[in-house]
Amino acid sequence: MPPLSNLATRDVETLVHPYINLANFRETGPLIIERGQGVYVYDSEGRPYIEGMAGLWCTALGYGNEELVEAAAAQMRKLSFAHLFTGKSHDPAIELAEKLKEIAPVPISKVFFCNSGSEANDTQVKLVWYLNNALGRTRKKKIISRVKAYHGVTLVAASLTGLPGNHRDFDLPLPGFLHTACPQAYRFAAAGESEEDFATRLAEELDALIEKEGPETVAAFIAEPVMGAGGVIVPPKTYFEKIMAVCARHDVFMIDDEVICGFGRLGTMFGCQKLGFRPQAVSIAKAMSSAYLPIAAVMIPETMYQALLAESKKIGVFGHGFTYGGHPVSAAVALKAIEIYLRDRIVEQAAARAAQFQARLNALNAHPLVGEARGIGLIGGVELVADKRTKRSFAAAHAVGARAVAFAEAEGLIVRSVLGDVLTLCPPLIISAAEVDDLFERLARALDRTLDWVTSGRIAQE
């Protein structure tokens, strides 16, 4: 291992990084990114990379967008901070809430601002508990999420998340948070089971779980339209229609986590529109400001708002809010980002680009290391396996996904590896046709190098 640069050494001695083996990291050090332009970022040595993950599924409009920079600077000069507590307000928050109501995928009464996806999902759960207390349903409090879901890392959001690394030794999930089956056909459909039959079985399993717990104790179900960090899992046909029917039958509130899928990722403004379901409440973040500044929101239906009114009247206060919720500079940037999505037809463009992206992604299924390459819109997952026929995964200790990520970086491409050696792809929505081709050529070379490494180390045989 070459010695770390001065900057890398300073990093290792000062920062705790999320989502890394902290012990190994002391040897490898960080990849330090210095600047970005379009779909490219440049490291501290000046090397360019295609940002194949749009940062963390978020920089939808790419880097160096002057309009967004200007929107932030102008707002910062005018009013650098204002809050929404105790009856104060400001223009950018009002305008942004109006715009969100206008583009929302379902009728929305009000918008509550927060700063991250985790805060949005924590807020969703608190609001559902508040709602059921307002309705006198004091036992209806359990929340159902799914195995492999990702909803964030604060205590409640991490409890909703269905990944072992987010629970183990954090004493999570909290009581009252349950996980139903994951809608991943490649891993969990029975042999010969059709997509529709798999979806029916998943809905039956959810129904059975609610019956077992007692419908009078189950408050809400939360789902991402397409699961992102769990490995880019596109549900089988008819899944949401069947799941929604189960929720409706048991009066279970349906929360749609659009933190990744919102703002065009699947080729529609919201993911639920692509997958054909109508949730009751919606969480948004990430691409809402193209990640130029942190901002997130909960979209609240009228029934929920009426409950908030009743409870706050009874208690005397609606006791929830974040200092930076609806920050005027973030709100101004989000407003500008939404203006760009609509004005430049970014969502339609993403839908058009998706055909090429999905064709290139699908072609990776022929690669000897790829068990399944899957996706929709401009998002994809490439699951690496030791044996294509049996779908056997590599032993986690070999860290084959991490190795492929390193080879991709050497090829000038940033991708991510998540649980089970799934490489994830989620480029900025503004990616051009030539850049999509370039991305997949770099990825193919990285996969070939990974295959050589696996073969020469005889790793697949273990």
3-state secondary structure (DSSP) of residue 82? coil
CB of 283 to ligand PLP, least distance (A): 7
Could you say which residues in the range 319-378 bind ligand PLP, by CB under 6 A? none
Q: In this structure, what token pair is assigned to residue 369?
A: 């290391």
Q: Which one, 71 or 285, has the nearer CB to ligand PLP?
A: 285
Give start and end residues of each alpha helix (H) in 179-238: 185-188, 195-213
CB of 352 to ligand PLP, least distance (A): 25
Q: Which one, 123 or 450, has the nearer CB to ligand PLP?
A: 123
Residue number of the CB atom closest to ligand PLP? 117
Tokens 């697949």 — which residue? 460
Give start and end residues of each alpha helix (H) in 79-213: 91-103, 117-134, 155-160, 185-188, 195-213
Beta-carbon contacts of residue 459 (< 8 Å; ≥ 6 apart) = 386, 394, 398, 400, 453
Sign of CA pseudo-dihedral 345, 347, 351, 353? positive
Q: Which one, 84 or 229, has the nearer CB to ligand PLP?
A: 229
CA distance 17 to 332: 30
Tokens 């703002």 — which residue? 263
Find out whether 439 and 52 touch, Cβ atoms under 8 Å: yes
CA distance 178 to 80: 41
Among 52, 228, 230, 231, binds ligand PLP (CB under 6 A): 228
CB of 414 to ligand PLP, least distance (A): 16
Residue 269 sits at φ, ψ, to 5 deg, of -55, -45
CB of 258 to ligand PLP, least distance (A): 8
Number of neighbours of residue 87 by Cβ within 10 angstroms: 5
**Binding residues with ligand PLP: total (CB under 6 A):** 16
Q: Does 256 bind ligand PLP (CB under 6 A)?
A: no
CA distance 62 to 292: 10
CB of 296 to ligand PLP, least distance (A): 6
Residue 425 sits at φ, ψ, to 5 deg, of -130, 135
User: How far, in Å, are 90, 109, 406 from residue 102 at the CA level?
Assistant: 19, 10, 43
Could you say which residues in the range 259-318 bind ligand PLP, by CB under 6 A? 259-260, 285
Q: Does 435 bind ligand PLP (CB under 6 A)?
A: no
CB of 288 to ligand PLP, least distance (A): 11
Contact range with ligand PLP by CB under 6 A, out of 64-72, 257-265, 271-279, 372-380: 257-265
Q: Which one, 150 or 277, has the nearer CB to ligand PLP?
A: 150
Contact range with ligand PLP by CB under 6 A, out of 8-16, 96-104, 224-232, 241-249: 224-232
CB of 65 to ligand PLP, least distance (A): 20
Could you say which residues in the range 139-168 bind ligand PLP, by CB under 6 A? 150-152
What are the residues binding ligand PLP (CB under 6 A)?
56-57, 116-118, 121, 150-152, 224, 228-229, 257, 259-260, 285
